[in-house]
Chains A and B, each alone.
Chain A
Amino acid sequence: MATETARVAGVVDDDETLESGGRGRSLWSDALHRFMRNKAAVASVVVLILIVVFTFVGPFFSQWSIERIDWSILGMVADQGGPSIDTGHFFGADELGRDLYSRVIQGTQISLAVGVLGAAVAVVIGTLYGAIAGYFGGRLDSAMMRFVDIFYSIPYLFILILMLLIFGRSFVVLFMGIGLISWLGMSRVVRGQTLTLKNREFVEAAIATGVRPLAIVFRHIVPNLLGIVVVYATLLIPEIILLESFISFLGLGIQEPNTSLGALISDGAQTMQYGELWQIGFPLAFFVVILFSFFFAGDGLRDALDPKDR
């Protein structure tokens, strides 16, 4: 209540605070509280957790592997390949007679993994790069960011496809490649934030007590970047999933028999005209729900950590 008192009474800037509805604290627990109040964000986190649990638990119920062909329905998928409990094809079957349930599970796993791992690569590289550039400033900063500017302008899709062609269409190439493209944006954001942090008192104090520059970057700057990095990463994951799906849709993504949500959607899109809507429906549903959840959670995180953004 004490902080409420000071705020409403206007020790600092009362008019604006009142006019805007009385917000203004910025500790981690307050951020958590604000996040909790955002029902959409909390629901999204729950949904994501449920989906991840599903991908681990689901395979125990599946009666078909991802590549085994069900000869009994082959050629008659439109009539007999629909979702049913009897045939064991809970989500139906695809055009080649493979079980969609296990394929969707695998597709979800791959898509999520690519998203998270790709974002992890981007976060690690981007944060270190941006923090170093921002902290040391001067010519190093100019050179480093000029490098980023140049590479940012290059249409990444083409480079990525080239990389996939050269190094093979494996899972590792996919998330490494996407991560290597995505770190650029992260480094810019981190650099900007570092520039702001650099001038804060606790950094001055650290310098005054003789902490070496690299240690300052790692021990003081990076932990304080956590907020903005987490928000950016959470919004980066769905972008990466979209990018991966995009590539898979073009047929240049993950290699068969492995699959991702993008590839499944692509396949499903081609059979829509035969009325086999489950083939696009299930992967699309998972895809949309995952993306929505990440967006809402990311938005919620951003609002929680930086309330004036609304």
Chain B
Amino acid sequence: MLTFILRRLAIAIPTLLVLIVLSFGLMHFAPGNPFMGEKHLPAEVMRNIFARYGLDKPLWQQLGEYVWNIVTRFDFGPSFVYKDRSVTDIIKQGFPVTFTYGLWSFVAAAGIGIPLGVIAAVRQNSWADYVAVGVGIGAQVVPNFVLAPILVLIFTLWLHWLPGGGWNDGKWNYVLLPVVALATTYVANIARLMRSSMLEVLHSNYIRTARAKGLPGYQVVLKHALKPALLPVISYLGPVFVGMITGSVVVDVFFSTGGIGQWFVNSALNRDYSTLLGVTVLLGALTVAGNLAVDVLYAWIDPKIRY
């Protein structure tokens, strides 16, 4: 098991480096810079500004220092647009917000989707099954950026039950709509996947053996069928994690939560390249970590993969 984890890490680290280098490189080929603004500044001034931000050093040196700073001090450098803040400050402010509702969304998606899928499979062709499949298909075509405004329309504008935006330090009623907007599509997808996977496993020969041993139905499902049926779902949790990270951008923007996603979009529009780079690296690292965790979880269940 340990060697498996180490091998996966051996892929994860270069991946992260590629990401950083790629983003860094793309950034430096981008037209314009955040300092141009309306006025055309004289060359002297530009040179000074560049020197201040260390942009006059050779590229490979900039890259090296950048990576070093992140790894040793978690320092992403100064923001190009906000003079009084560093990127690290921005991240410290925005990340907890995104992390909070992101975590809840993930838990909700798996915690509701998996049982729903199992029930639909075990009670195939019952009304519960049809509801699950129907909702599943429906949720797939209503992406989070469509669902969010609909939720606000219903719960904020019509019913006045929940606030339509803001964060208020994470009070539950401010967290609820973002979580629903983000998790719903995935609840549906996970349920569908769980259902079809469970159905397939239940037709296996080894399940027939379990029945022949006189095991009661719930034991057959929970002890024998659940683990193998979960495998494709666990693989899918990787993309779910990634999808939630990207989806959080929309949620942040729409609900004005002040989370990382909002900073990403703003820095893209303002050409605040250092913040953009910092957020990209952070979210990229999260993605890589998430994929690694999913791989390990998969190997824990499937003994054949470990070697």
Contacts and interface: CB of A to CB of B under 8 A. Distances in A.
Interface of A: 146, 149-151, 153-155, 157-159, 161-163, 165-166, 238, 242, 245-246, 249-252, 262, 265-266, 269-270, 272-273, 280, 284, 287-288, 291-292, 295, 309-310
Contact of A245 (B143, B245, B276, B291): B143
A171 B27 CA distance: 21
Contacts of B143: 242, 245-246
Interface in B194-239: 196
A246 B147 CA distance: 12
By secondary structure, the A interface counts as helix
B250 interface: yes
Given A150-B14, A150-B15, A252-B268, A157 B157 contact: no
Nearest to B276: A162
Contact of B141 (A154, A249, A250, A291): A291
A157 B249 contact: yes
Nearest to B238: A153
A155 to B, nearest CB: 5
A161 B149 contact: no
B37 interface: no
Interface string B10-41: 01101100110011001101110000000000
A252 B265 contact: yes
Given A246-B246, A251-B265, 9 more contacts: A146-B11, A157-B249, A238-B141, A250-B265, A262-B145, A272-B152, A272-B157, A287-B146, A295-B140
Interface of B: 11-12, 14-15, 18-19, 22-23, 26-27, 29-31, 137, 140-143, 145-146, 148-149, 152-153, 157, 196, 242, 245-246, 249-250, 253-254, 264-265, 268-269, 271, 276, 279-280, 283-284, 287-288, 291
By secondary structure, the B interface counts as helix
A249 B145 contact: yes
Given A245-B145, A265-B145, A163 B246 contact: no
A272 B140 contact: no
A280 B26 contact: no
Contacts of B146: 265, 269, 284, 287
B141 A166 contact: no
Given A245-B145, A295-B140, A250 B249 contact: yes
A162 B157 CA distance: 35
A252 B157 CA distance: 27
Given A154-B19, A159-B23, A166-B29, A249 B250 contact: yes
Given A154-B15, A295-B141, A162 B30 contact: yes
A292 B139 CA distance: 10
B253 A155 contact: no
A155 B141 contact: no
Which 3 A-B residue pairs are closest in the complex by CB-CB distance? Answer: A269-B149, A291-B141, A249-B145
Nearest to B289: A153
A291 B140 contact: yes
Contacts of A150: 11, 14-15, 18
Contacts of A269: 145-146, 148-149, 254
B265 to A, nearest CB: 5
Nearest to A284: B146
Given A245-B143, A272-B149, A158 B11 contact: no
A287 B172 CA distance: 32
A252 B14 CA distance: 29
Contacts of A284: 146
Contacts of A262: 145
A165 B271 CA distance: 9
Nearest to B254: A269
A163 B29 CA distance: 10
B137 A153 contact: no
A158 B265 contact: no
Nearest to B27: A162
A282 to B, nearest CB: 13
